[in-house]
Amino acid sequence: MKLFVKRLFDISLAIIGLVLSSWMWVFISICTIIEDGFPILIKQKRIGKDNRIFKSFKFRSMIKSASREKVSRQASENDSRITNFGNCLRKTALDELPQLLNILKGDMSFVGPRPLLPLEIEVSCECDNLHVCDIQGYEERAKVLPGLTGIAQVYAPRDLTRVQKFKYDLEYIKTQNLWLDMKLILFSFFITFRACWEKRGIKLGFLERQ
């Protein structure tokens, strides 16, 4: 019953979101074409529940050549691959708006661990070139639907290592409930309106006051 309620909640909110954001799709498409041409949307293979691979939809925020990289690496702040308009999309997380379609399809939930790229590696001082599948906590993560937002997405900066983000994900898996989902979605809307998804200090400063 708990999973049924979560799924019903996801479908209802995704439909509302698609209807209300329809004008944004047109605006984002025009701006993307003006700056860097086609394609507007990108499809990426992502790891879903039980390690099932699905295609995730996003508005393109990086230069075209970034999609041809053989090994996927997590975007960092001031990443040279991000376009000017793409930077605006990422600050507001509007590049992820098409993932409402993935939620409707049942590939994703509104709240859950971030969907990972199959060839994603961790590049950091503490774990050089470590594949995400080898990070502690990966198996537990793979037992639930990935999400558009979550504890890690809301409370952690984009450039935090996957090792650290997995700890946030495991905390969500242990404590998940509908009230927590609604709270995280509400916080996500506030961060989007403030356009501070890319700034750790601004984002966390706001949340810590809540």
Could you read off the pLDDT of 38-69 as tens digits, one per residue?
999 999 999 999 999 999 999 999 887 666 55
Question: Sorting pLDDT into bands at 50, 70 and 90, what band is 159?
Answer: confident
* pLDDT over threshold 80, residue 195: no
Contacts of residue 117, Cβ cutoff 8 Å, sequence gap at least 6: 44, 45, 46, 47, 72, 132
* pLDDT over threshold 80, residue 97: yes
Residue of 77, 39, 76 whose CA lies nearest to 58: 39
Q: How many other CB atoms are there within 10 angstroms of residue 14's CB atom? A: 21
Question: Sorting pLDDT into bands at 50, 70 and 90, what band is 206?
Answer: very low
pTM of the entire predicted model: 0.84
CA–CA distance, 147 with 99 (Å, rounded to integer): 9
Residue of 112, 114, 107 whose CA lies nearest to 172: 112
- When comparing pLDDT for 28 and 63, which is higher? 28
- Under 8 Å between Cβ of 181 and 108: no
Average pLDDT over residues 127-156: 87
Name the residue type at position 45.
Answer: K
Average pLDDT over residues 164-169: 91
118: exposed, middle or buried (C-beta count within 10 Å: 0-12, 13-18, 19+)? middle
**DSSP states of 159-182 as a string?**
TS-HHHHHHHHHHHHHH--HHHHH
Residues 74, 105, 82: CA angle, nearest 5 degrees: 25
CA–CA distance, 119 with 99 (Å, rounded to integer): 20
pLDDT of residue 30: 96
- Under 8 Å between Cβ of 111 and 185: yes
CA–CA distance, 61 with 32 (Å, rounded to integer): 8
Which residues, listed in sequence order, are joined to residue 103 by a DSSP beta bridge?
A: none
